[in-house]
Amino acid sequence: MFIVSSYAQAIFFCIITMLCWGSWANTQKLANKNWRYELFYWDYVLGIFLLSLIFAFTLGSHGELGRPFVADLKQAESQHIFNALLGGIIFNAANILLSSAIALAGMAVAFPVGIGTALILGVLINYIAATKGNPTLLFIGVICIAIAIIINAIAYKKVTKTQNNRSSKGLLLSLLAGLLMSLFYRFIASAMDLDNFEAPASGKMTPYTAVFIFSAGILLSNFIFNTLLMKKPLNGPPLSYKEYFNGNFSVHTVGLLGGIIWGIGNSLNLIAAGKAGPAISYGLGQGATLVAALWGVFIWREFKGASRQVVLLLTLMFILFIIGLLLLIEAGK
């Protein structure tokens, strides 16, 4: 199977993760305006699962190093399979809340608040579990990102003073999504042998197998989580499966593309975790916050017409995010 050979390559993969995780939500916005995010989310989840299979039978099955996907799956112990599945279930619950927040508050807010919160807590959780990297630089970087998130929330509040309670609901959902999102990575990382991808310990899984099980957890839990959300949506009237199957080819394709984009980032991030360490790999990947905020501000114009004060706050937010991410990269050296 393919294995990352250097720290520089691991950082490159994490940067790709950052771009993928920060860009997939554009597909939610590109879908037909009448195509609710609950319907979009079914295709998104299918895209994630499809990508995990593609990687498992290509990068995860060819090469001289490591165990090929099928052999690795057969030898995996039940506790590690359960952890990867649980990681997928937790991620799915968090991501559904994040998708709801995007629909209510926009990318420029839902990502910095939700994923930024996940970054801060997730880095701490993963560093405690596997102490790899310079702790001083790591935590200073996290503090910079925390301040950036607070500044973003202040800027958003100034823009939405005259809007209805959709804004406050979107902010609350973003925070809840972030709290859950900080937990999923630890479970999937614990299912792998992060110290030796070339010859993983017996019972543990390679990244490709762990991602497949994780993606299966997302897909299976979606039949519960998203079905409930369709019946009792946070915003708008209830939906039926008939409405999903009545969707045209283009809207289904956009949703699949969103899942594939996120799945590429997820796979590359876990492949990189062996060299970078889970805390730094996860933290850099969740730098997607910055990428999504850039999309929201400059492409989707979610802060259009904002005052000079708000523009200054957003500029400071971006500067702090960049400083924080650079410190995370340096911490791994």
Query: pLDDT tens digit string along 108-157?
Result: 677 778 877 888 898 889 888 888 889 999 999 989 988 987 887 788 77
According to the model, what pLDDT value does residue 193 have?
Answer: 92
Residue closest to 192 by CA, chosen among 83, 65, 104? 83
Residue 257 in domain: yes
Residue 1 in domain: no
Residue 262 in domain: yes
According to the model, what pLDDT value does residue 87 have?
Answer: 97
According to the model, what pLDDT value does residue 107 have?
Answer: 67
According to the model, what pLDDT value does residue 108 have?
Answer: 67
Residue closest to 194 by CA, chosen among 126, 101, 124? 126
Q: Structural domain of residue 90, as residue ranges? A: 7-332
CA atoms of 223 and 225, how far apart (whole Å): 6
Domain count, the chain: 1
According to the model, what pLDDT value does residue 214 have?
Answer: 98
Residue 273 in domain: yes
According to the model, what pLDDT value does residue 161 have?
Answer: 58
**pTM of this prediction?**
0.88
Do residues 209 and 21 make contact, with C-beta atoms less than 8 angstroms apart? Answer: no
Which residue numbers in the chain have pLDDT < 50?
162
CB atoms within 10 A of CB 251: 19
According to the model, what pLDDT value does residue 236 have?
Answer: 85
Residue 2 in domain: no
CA dihedral 130, 132, 138, 142 (to 10 degrees): -30
Question: Which residues make Cβ contacts (< 8 Å) with residue 78, sequence separation at least 6?
Answer: none
Alpha-carbon separation of residue 239 from 30, 209, 226, 231 (angstroms): 20, 34, 10, 6
Residue 278 in domain: yes
